[in-house]
């Protein structure tokens, strides 16, 4: 536990969205001290509470996504609930939402209306296609963003249909870009005193990481396609089978690193071979080179091969499963497996905080709320100064 002040402790965030993209942004901000108040409709929990595997009736994904957050209930579909949110906006710095564009406007909670109440408010909006353009009203999920952003077409093997990556990468990429936008807007506000809208689209977040996909096509007439475990023209960079029937990853495409790989293989002359001596030549002779490397890796157990590669300074590693991650001493040394007490399950392991800050690192203080509205009294009574009578009245009306 850190004793110093966390870097975002003076930032209050209202998180209105559900599922992955919006709430992941809230998680990242909360990791570094922001007071994130999660808003859920009464009687209609965020589906993430029950997604994934469970133990003792408790979802195993939810504590990761909701860590450090407070939980309140509020019905934004009713005018009285909208007025309550506006009261909260007066006391907030950021509103996060990942509804379909137009939803906040339908609820009389547009940025224009909220900024009249609080000119410093920053609205972080994450959606499938953004707040403008001909597709803005379409429903959008991360999977579709991955497809339209270009990622799915280059994922998988050339003789098979496009495939997905094993995690919700479209949503998390959007959350990362939204977090960057939020922090940029907070910094800019320190100069102007004004808030603004951060508009993040799922498909654009994916497209932004697609490297030279567009100039490859427009300027070189090259269409990137699925290439399995390789990158076009980049060699050696692949997975290689070992004597104990596992795979290791080796990345040695830079000239100096390739020379060290050749030394590790006991074949230093390959570094001078015209077929492999340059980056371009290695790309042209990728299949031959990969077969030669795999002949070497197949002669050794993975552990032995990796020790030799490490000694020579060649980037390499096993393809980890959960068990490997948990047993790895480097993960442990960098606090990448955190454990906190869950009220139902007991000790609960989860990923650590990224990135590491040297002076004011982030912190997981608690695992969020195990039930909806856990912090209703704290937020409504302490933050907004409500009397018990108003709290009870709005409960009876199903507003909170």
Catalytic residues: 171
Query: Tokens 């939803």 sit at which residue?
Result: 103
Q: Give the torsion through C-alpha atoms of 352, 357, 359, 365, to 10 deg.
A: -30
For 349, phi then psi, to 5°, come to -90, 145
ω into 248 cis (within 30 of 0)? no
DSSP state of 247: E
- Cβ neighbors of 129 (< 8 A, separation 6 or more) are 101, 135, 136, 138, 140, 201, 202, 203
> Any idea how long the chain is?
400
SS3 141: coil
What would the DSSP string read from start to end of 276-338?
Answer: TSSHHHHHHTHHHHHHHHHHHHTTS-HHHHHHHHHHTT--EEE---HHHHHH-HHHHHTT-EE
């Amino acid at each position: 536990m850190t004793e110093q002040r966390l870097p975002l402790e003076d930032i209050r965030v209202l998180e209105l969205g559900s599922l992955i993209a919006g709430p992941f942004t809230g998680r990242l901000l909360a990791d570094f001290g922001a007071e994130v108040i999660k808003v859920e409709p009464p009687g209609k929990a965020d589906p993430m509470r029950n997604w994934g595997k469970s133990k003792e009736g408790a979802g195993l994904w939810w504590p990761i996504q909701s860590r450090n957050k407070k939980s309140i209930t509020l019905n934004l579909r009713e005018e009285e609930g909208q007025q309550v949110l506006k009261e909260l906006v007066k006391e907030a710095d950021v509103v996060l939402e990942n509804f379909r564009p137009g939803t906040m406007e339908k609820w009389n909670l547009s940025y224009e209306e909220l900024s009249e109440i609080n000119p410093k408010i920053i609205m972080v909006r994450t959606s499938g296609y953004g707040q403008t353009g001909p597709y803005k009203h379409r429903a959008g999920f991360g999977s579709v963003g991955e497809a339209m952003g270009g990622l799915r077409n280059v994922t998988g093997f050339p003789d098979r249909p496009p495939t997905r990556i094993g995690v919700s990468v479209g949503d998390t990429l959007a959350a990362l870009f939204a977090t960057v936008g939020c922090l940029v807007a907070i910094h800019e506000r320190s100069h102007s005193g004004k808030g603004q809208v951060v508009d993040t689209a799922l498909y654009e977040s994916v497209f932004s990481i697609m490297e030279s996909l567009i100039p490859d096509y427009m300027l070189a007439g090259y269409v990137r396609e699925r290439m399995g475990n390789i990158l076009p023209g980049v060699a050696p960079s692949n997975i290689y089978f070992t004597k104990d029937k596992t795979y290791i990853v080796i990345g040695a495409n830079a000239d100096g690193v390739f020379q060290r790989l050749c030394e590790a293989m006991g074949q230093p002359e390959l570094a001078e071979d015209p077929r492999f001596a340059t980056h371009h030549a290695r790309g042209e002779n990728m299949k031959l080179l990969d077969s030669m490397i795999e002949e070497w890796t197949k002669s050794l157990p993975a552990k032995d091969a990796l020790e030799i590669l490490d000694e020579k300074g060649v980037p390499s590693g096993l393809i980890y499963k959960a068990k490997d991650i948990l047993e790895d001493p480097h993960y442990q040394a960098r606090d990448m497996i955190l454990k906190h007490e869950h009220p139902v399950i007991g000790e609960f392991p989860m990923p650590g905080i990224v990135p590491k800050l040297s002076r004011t690192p982030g912190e997981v203080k608690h695992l969020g709320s195990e039930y909806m509205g856990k912090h209703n009294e704290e937020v409504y009574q302490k933050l907004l100064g409500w009397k018990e009578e108003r709290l009870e009245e709005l409960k009876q009306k199903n507003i909170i």
